[in-house]
Structure formats: C-alpha cells, structure tokens
Amino acid sequence: MTPAPVLGTGHGEERGGPTLAERIVRTGSSTSGPGQPHAPSGLDGRTRTTSTDRTPSSALSVDKLLLLTAAGYAPLGIVAGAAVFHAGLVGARLANAELVPLSQALLAAREQATARMRHHAAQLGAAGVVGARVEISAFEDQHHLARVVAFGTAVAPAMPADVETSSAVPFVAALTGRELGVLLDSGYEPVSLVMGVCVYHIARQRPRAWMRNLTTSGELGGYTAALYGARELAMRRLQDEALAAGGEGVVGVTTSETSHAWGSKAIEFFCMGTTIRKCSEPRLGQPATAISLRDLRTAADPAALHGRAARRYGGPLE
Amino acid sequence: MVNDRSGDAHAPSLSPEGLPPDARERLRELSGDSPGAGLFTSDLSVNEFMLIRACGFHPRGLVFGSSIFNVGISKRRWSKNQEMAAYTEAMYSARELAMERMVTEAELLGADGIVGVRLDITYYDWGRRSAEFIAIGTAVSATGDGEWRTSAGRPFTSDLSGQDFWTLLKMGYAPVGLVLGNCVYHVAHRSVKRTVSQVARSVESPSTTQALYEARELAMTRMQQDAVDVGAEGIVGVELVEKSHMFGSHVIEFLAVGTGVRARPEQPSIPEPQMIMSLDH
C-alpha cells in the first residue's frame, strides 16, 4: 500500500509555492463571519488519512524529520487558516499619527487566520503546529482587499507518554522541528505566536522645512520620534500579547515594515515571535566546539559566503 | 499613543538619549518587579537562546534605537578625489544616535550588554535625501558575578550571533563594544581626453584605485581608533561594506564594523574542537 504523502512546511524549504497558498485561500476564504469555520474538506480528508498511517514523508527534509522524531513528535500534515479583509483607504492628513482602525484590522486578520489554523490542528488531534508562517498579500485586481494565510505543520507526540505538555490547546510556533527539539531539551515549551501591529501615517514635509533640508544635514527630530515611537508601540503590543498568553519569554522576534497598497503615505510596523515558557528541567548538556566538514562553497546558498554583510547592513537601494 | 502634530521635520522632539514614551512604558513592563522575573523578548533563534543561557546570560528584551537623518546637498568637484566630510559626519552621527538610544533602552532594563546588534538603513518614499538608521539587538544580563559592562559602566554592544558570543566567551574574551568607522568619498570622473584614449585599452586607472584604497583605509583607521577609545584589545568579525546609498554615482560610503573585545582575567583552557559532518541543508 502506498500511503499518501504528508506535506511539511519548514523554514528555507521549497514548498508547493503559490499552488498551495492558492488552494488554501480558495478553500479558506469562502468561510466568513465570526467563529471557527470548518476546515476545508479536501485538505481535511487528506491529512486525516495520513494521520492514521503515521508514515514519514518526503516533503519534510530528512534531518528535519529525524530531529522532530528525536524530539518525540511526528508530523500529521499541513494545517492552514485564512482570512480576507478590507484594508480601507488612507486619506491625506497633515499630521504624523497612528491609523488605529488599520492597525486593528491588520492585527485582527492575522489573529483570525492563526486561530483558524490552530483550530484545524486541534481537529486533527495535534499537540501543536511548528514552522508556522503568516503571509499577507493583496489580490491582483483588488488592492484594497488583502488576504492573510497562516499555515504550518501539525505535530503530535509519537508516543503520547514521551512528551509532557501542560496545555490542552495546540501550541503554535514559528520554529522548525529541529528548533522545537532544542527548545524542549533546554526545558522550555512553545505557547503561541504573538504579534504586534502599528500602522502609521507619515505627513509631508512643509515647504519651508523641505527647502532648509536641501542643503543642511541633520536629524529629523519629528520623524524620528514618530517612527521610533510606532516601532516601540508595535513591540509593546507584542509584549502585552505574550504576557496575556502566559509566556515567560519571546524568541525569534522578526520585525518588518511594509507600505502594502498605501503608497508612501502609511507604513505598517509588524513584529511577530514565538512565546515560550518553562515546562521541565533542562536535559541539554554543555555544547561542544566542533568544526563542520561541510564546504560552504558547495552549499547551494551563496549567501553563506557573501550575504552576511549585505543582509546585516541594509539591502541594495531600490 | 504616538502623535506628532508638527509637520516640521526639525522639531526637536527627541534628545540624543531621549526615548519615545512608549519605549519607556514597554521597558518598564519588561523589567518586571525583580530582575529576571518579568517577560523577556528577543530576536534570538532557539539555538542562540540556548547558547546564551549556556554561557551564563539570560535575555532581557529586544531593544531598538532609531534616527532619521537628512543629508543635504554638498559641493563636490567633478574631477577631484575627495572625502565628503559633511556626509561622513552625518552617516556616522546617525548611527551613533541610533546606537546610543538602543544602549539607553538596555540600561533602562538593567542589562549588562546587547548581543546580535544589527544596523539597518531604511529609505522611505517621502524623503529622497533622508534615511532611517536603526539599531536592533537583544539585551542580556549575566546570571553570575563578574563585570561585563564597559569601563564607562554602560552595557556592552556586539554584533556577534549567539554562536559567536558563546565561542568568544569560551575562549576567555568578552565583547566591549560595536566599533565602526566610515568614510564617504567622491571618486573623480575621468577627463574626456583620458576616457577617449583608454576606450580600447585595458589599463589600471591609478586615480580611481587611489581613491577607493584611501577611502577604505580611512574607514578602517577610524574603526581602529574607535576600538582604542572604548578600551578594546582587538576587533573580531569586521565587515567592510561599500554602498552609494542616496548619494548617486561616484560618491561611495565605506563602512567598517566589528566587535571590539578584551581578554577576561580568567583564561580558560580552550577545548579541542571535534570534527563533525553537518546534516544541515
């Protein structure tokens, strides 16, 4: 008997690309209104079948599967959630100020997509979701409509007695299977994804100020205060979420700023991380020093040799 | 709530060590009642988190600093190699301001240092001649005794990853500060006569070589001076970045960044490395 393949998502892994996202959106976006929608039937059926087989997949890379298994978990399949929302219009304003309704909408859409993914995982009987990602994009012909897709790999303890979990709700983590293993061994467990959003409107410079800035160099105090403050506000909201989720810390926080379809008038500051909390005594020994025998030059990723500087100190000016 | 009513870009809204009100509020929530009791945030990966704990530190919070800087038009001679001192100064001050604010945030948390510092530059559509300089890092505190702060009593800064930080500490060194030097240089245009005479020949262009060489050396020298000033014994992980930013062609910034380190009083024995075959992709 040939078992149906279990799909996996992980960082830096080649996925099905747009086809997967499209499929999820097509099935997921038809659900609307409050509450938890039913998981898409096609997806559900596939993952259900495989979850009983417990057959290792080909789409999770070998080392990821190995380490996930070593951590006491087995993959159940992809889980996903989607939300479509209306981003509204940004009118011209004179002041630097937060656009509160947009901040709320962008956060709510992401939270809802994530909650649906978590619900989907719970239906499969998963202990949690690893490799979770939340992606936001506009529809090609309707820029004011944005879709949010959350997806990840649902995992369950291979031997239920192996893994002690202190929560009935599946955890959601933007961690790879390998990172999950290291985290559990160092005595922590993931709790949930936490996010913070602040959409900020940028005012134009006044003509006089613009003239003065043409020939002088210096800090733009007003702008600095505004954008610095917006960033802090987004981060503060992430912290509040983490505290509410009962976490002891947040790892892997990523920050981004995007203008979406608003042009240069508004910027969204977004940060996301994985909340963790202590669950057991650390089992991990002291790390040892090692020399990897892998030749960086043969690696598929040339960034390993040249990219660090470019990545750290700002990308090309485009 | 952040709300700046003045469209005037030069409004003096932040002092060099001034932080927005939300920053203070955020850090107050993080520091908790007693050190280490509150929530922490970090941009560390799980491996880095584990390694930082393994060498006797714990993360305290993600700290930011930001400065939006305007760079005005400055005179340059078409056919002359020269440093654009005003630009060098502006690009350096902006980064210093951003880092200063980040360190101030770490101080508010009572942290001993900042690891994994990134210096990013973001350009926005609304200002062609301005850019936001951002410094981001994870503030950490030592769990045990030992003096980790700089001689000025401030938290150390370093752009080392968790892995590099662990290795550095195991070798008996401690980071002192992120040191940087820069030089914005105008590279002369070639004269028409020379361009024509060289159009079919492959030769070195001595004046261009000279210009780039000198600019690079200036940036490196300034970084070294920076390291001497903070009391470092050496610099690890130096990166040399050259970019034209918003200056257009023929004006290039050379930036040298590294982490200044000093030896710790106690010198541990360095463990013999094992050879491993990594299964990583």
Mean pLDDT throughout B37-62?
89
Chain B residue numbers with beta carbons less than 8 Å from the beta carbon of A305 are none
pLDDT above 70: residue B172: yes
Chain A: nearest CA to B231, how far in angstroms? 25
- Looking at residue A296, its pLDDT comes to 54
The token duo for A198 is 């602040």
Which tops the pLDDT comparison, A308 or A25? A308
Mean pLDDT throughout A157-184?
75
Cβ within 8 Å, pair A219-B97: yes
Chain B residue numbers with beta carbons less than 8 Å from the beta carbon of A12 are 281
- Looking at residue B55, its pLDDT comes to 86
Please write down the HEC assignment for all residues of A214-281: HHCCEECHHHHHHHHHHHHHHHHHHHHHHHHCCCCEEEEEEEEEECCCCCCCEEEEEEEEEEEEECCC
Mean pLDDT throughout A229-251?
92
pLDDT above 70: residue A246: yes
The SS3 call for residue B217 is helix
Chain B residue numbers with beta carbons less than 8 Å from the beta carbon of A182 are 46-47, 50
pLDDT class of A213 with cuts at 50, 70, 90: confident
- How far apart (Å, rounded) are the C-alpha atoms in residues B26 and B2? 13
Q: Is B69 on the interface with A (CB under 8 A)?
A: yes
- Looking at residue A192, its pLDDT comes to 92
The token duo for A144 is 């004011």
Amino acid making up residue A277:
R
Mean pLDDT throughout A34-60?
43
- How far apart (Å, rounded) are the C-alpha atoms in residues B229 and B226? 5
How many Cβ atoms from other residues are within 10 Å of residue B209's Cβ? Answer: 10
For A25, the enclosing helix (H) or strand (E) is helix A18-28
Chain A residue numbers with beta carbons less than 8 Å from the beta carbon of B277 are 292-294
Cβ within 8 Å, pair A218-B90: yes
What are φ and ψ of residue B140, in 5° steps? Answer: -130, 155
% of chain B at pLDDT higher than 70: 90
Chain B residue numbers with beta carbons less than 8 Å from the beta carbon of A290 are 273-276
Cβ within 8 Å, pair A183-B46: yes
Mean pLDDT throughout A109-115?
94
- Looking at residue B228, its pLDDT comes to 95
From the list A231, A284, A287, the residue facing B166 with the nearest CB is A287
pLDDT above 90: residue A134: yes
Enumerate the β-bridge partners of residue A154.
Answer: A77, A129
Interface size between A and B, measured as CB pairs under 8 A: 283
pLDDT above 90: residue B100: yes
Chain B residue numbers with beta carbons less than 8 Å from the beta carbon of A202 are 124, 126
Q: How many CA atoms lie within 13 A of B83 on its CB side?
A: 16
* Lateral strand order in the sheet of A128-138: A73-86, A145-157, A128-138, A171-172
% of chain A at pLDDT higher than 70: 64
pTM here is: 0.79
* A 141-180: CB under 8 A from B: 175, 179-180
* B 92-131: CB under 8 A from A: 93-94, 97, 101, 118-127, 129-130
pLDDT tens digit sequence for A252-300: 999 988 887 777 778 889 999 999 998 888 877 777 777 776 655 545 4
- How far apart (Å, rounded) are the C-alpha atoms in residues A125 and A255? 32
Q: What is the mean pLDDT of chain A?
A: 72
- Looking at residue B94, its pLDDT comes to 93
Cβ within 8 Å, pair A179-B47: yes
Mean pLDDT throughout A43-64?
46
Chain A: nearest CA to B202, how far in angstroms? 28
How many Cβ atoms from other residues are within 10 Å of residue A58's Cβ? Answer: 12
